[in-house]
Structure 1
């Protein structure tokens, strides 16, 4: 193909989470001679604005529900206008509308990236059932699945997707975001936290699958031994009020700092001593990889793709999921051993630099596109 491969990515885009950052990083690191990326968001904010600021050709086609037929027509019109070689979908809502609209618009190549296990993203049984069937009904329309972790490939195979249709491309981190020039040292001062105060951080949306309640329970245990530790919680989501109420009920108000969503993520990792990631499920966590690239060691639960990045005792610590006592013990181990914390942080940084960069992720994704169009 003499011109770049034109690809239309379709995603909900109602938040800035791992999948959204994944697309932004792909767009930044794709070769313009290889890929001409366009983006369609099914929510009017915030991703479409963030993408445009980055120079991405982004369009919002708001979708009220999966049966909003006017939105299907809008997506079909957009596809015909962009005339992509490939439609690339992310997330259950985008998978349903994107796959159907692409076929109706005459696009013969469809890629779907799987970022997580569907069942774990929908705690409500009815929502889980509906989304499972909406995914199953259109799965055959996808020509190539990309998964961000090895364990997700196994999950797809278990539900009947042929292994021959699945490519594993690990998430990658944009190293420029974490250069020394990008990091400010004023965050602790902004929050009124002294430089010598141990600070544990948790970054992510407020959703039951992220396990915030286990960090709160661990903090209560740590308080019995070390009253100096503070906790920085970054992110937004529907469960935020519930978690804040839990912190108040446990009498931990003075130990927790809730910042909401922050753009200056490099500053977060520069301010904390340890990242806590007590998730019940993960794909391949960008939060984890970003903290590791910053030299900030993590305590993670043994779920999803976490063990594909973290080797226990070598570049971080791994604990069982839903085990607040084990989480507390691991955090205390690092808090009480600065040499171990520093050694794990240095090893964590090397792990990302050697294996999990955004450039490598983009190059492997380009290879998938080339294979499909040749």
Structure 2
């Protein structure tokens, strides 16, 4: 007799493919189809719709859903879906409305993945409110790093409600020297240049200004470096103007959004993240699994990825001088850069593969169903 599959509904409100979307796609690619029947609820115009369907996973597309956590008008539609589908678990990604609707529809178990750092703890009243909301509308919260878990506990969430499961990634093909040169050349790279890049949304929390200031400082010492700012966002024009004002615009490439971002992540000599707050940082992990060392700010979960002095360097948040110094140290020493890169690849493969993440998530699902 065939064992009944556990029915899981994932809910995302994202219209673009960000960190939560990539988490979902990795999970869907590796989930156990014999034990779990998975569907995904998305806005009808989300870029994730086609990506999920390409993995042969059903999508429940909603006209009513907005790209925000609390969406009053989506509540009834979500509750109707949950009553009709009768899932064993609704697994949300930031959608407070979906958690509320799942509770109203009497879904047996509600999961929520916390993909970002919790906001400032606030006063006692705010902590109590956050604790009660999480307790009422989530049976299990998955934090993508220990730092996220700590921030949630500081904000009032009960520790026993939170499980840490690191984000998972896939191995990235490592380009040959010729492939690397051709790719970087397509973005303005020149022969003999070293490639230092940052893959992140062009938003305030990522602190690209520190990246540009560090670039200026490094270029005062050596000119054989090109800096790649990969991604898009509301600050693009402002950052382009900042690069020009610093006199380094000719050494900085803004690639915009790239669909196959892993190719440039694997073509860098050093990967950088300068975030003021970071849950884990998938882009750094993806470069590391391709054997690229990293320099990142000691913010949130970055220290769980970059091991200072072993696979990269940690620097204080906002310290452009420290960024320039560490980049110079790695660029000046090919042997150290290579050794750090090799260790980065080993570390990423040991802890951050998508298959590992998926098995841990499914173990939590099965425990909930007992």
TM-score w.r.t. structure 1 length? 0.90
Give the aligned partner of residue 213 of structure 2. Answer: 217
More divergent stretch after superposition (236-245 vs 308-317): 236-245
Aligned to 1:257: 253
Q: What residue number does 1:99 align with?
A: 99
Call closer, same or farther: CA 1:90–1:76 in 2, change over 3 Å: same
Aligned length: 360
The one-character-per-residue Cα deviations of 1:308-358 (angstroms, maximum 9, x if unpaired) are: 122111111111111111111111111111111111000000001112111
Corresponding residue number in structure 2 for 1:156: 152
CA contact (8 A) 1:188 1:195 kept: no
Aligned to 1:58: 59
Q: CA deviation at 1:207?
A: 1.4
Residues 269 and 67 of structure 1: is their aligned pair in 2 closer, same or farther, counting only changes over 3 Å? closer
Please name the residue that 2:13 is paired with. 12
Partner of residue 36, structure 2: 35
Work out the CA distance in 1 between the residues paired with 2:340 and 2:367: 39
Is contact 1:297–1:316 with CA below 8 Å preserved after alignment?
yes
- Deviation digits for residues 92-116 of structure 1 (CA, Å, limit 9, x no counterpart): xx1x111111012221210111111
Where in structure 2 are there 5+ consecutive unaligned residues? none
CA contact (8 A) 1:277 1:301 kept: yes
Match of 1:142 among 138, 147, 162: 138
Q: CA, structure 1 residues 272+180, in 2 after alignment: closer, same or farther (shift >3 Å)? A: closer
Q: 1:136, CA displacement in angstroms?
A: 6.0
Post-superposition shift, 1:88? 0.7
| Alpha-carbon displacement from aligned partner over 1:112-147 (angstroms, at most 9, x marks no partner) | 111111428xxxx9xxxxx99996663222001111
SS in 2 for 1:13: coil
Q: CA deviation at 1:289?
A: 0.9
Given candidates 83, 87, 91, the residue that maps to 1:84 is: 87
8 Å contact kept, 1:302–1:319 = yes
Structure with the higher fraction of residues in helix conformation? 1
CA contact (8 A) 1:13 1:48 kept: no
1:266–1:294 Cα contact (<8 Å) kept: no
SS in 1 for 2:192: coil
Distance 2:60 2:183 in 1: 34
Determine helix, strand or coil for the equivalent of 1:7.
strand
> What is the deviation of 1:29?
1.0
Contact kept in structure 2, 1:13 and 1:43, CA below 8 Å? no
Shift of 1:223: 1.6
C-alpha deviations, 1:34-59, integer Å up to 9, x for none? 22221112472222222222322223
Name the SS for the 2:216 alignment partner.
Answer: helix
Distance 2:287 2:267 in 1: 11
Q: How far apart in 2 are the matches of 1:277 and 1:264?
A: 19
- Measured in 1, the distance between the counterparts of 2:168 and 2:70 equals 34
Distance 1:147 1:178 in 2: 28
User: Is the 8 Å Cα contact of residues 184 and 267 (structure 1) preserved in structure 2?
Assistant: no
Matches within 5 A, 1:133-212: 138-140=133-135, 141-175=137-171, 177-178=172-173, 185=180, 186-212=182-208
Distance, in Å, in 1 between the alignment partners of 2:69 and 2:147 is 28
Distance in structure 1 (CA, Å) of the matches to 2:89 and 2:226: 47
Moved more, 339-348 or 48-57: 48-57
Structure 2: distance between partners of 1:296 and 1:142: 38
Q: CA deviation at 1:194?
A: 2.6
Structure-1 separation of matches of 2:38 and 2:226: 42
Matches of 1:336 and 1:162, distance apart in 2: 47
Alpha-carbon distance in structure 1 between the residues aligned to 2:308 and 2:150? 22
Look up the match of 1:128.
Answer: none
Which whole-Å CA distance do the structure 2 matches of 1:135 and 1:196 have between them? 53
Whether contact under 8 Å (2:112, 2:138) holds in the other structure is yes
Change (3 A) 1:145 1:274: same
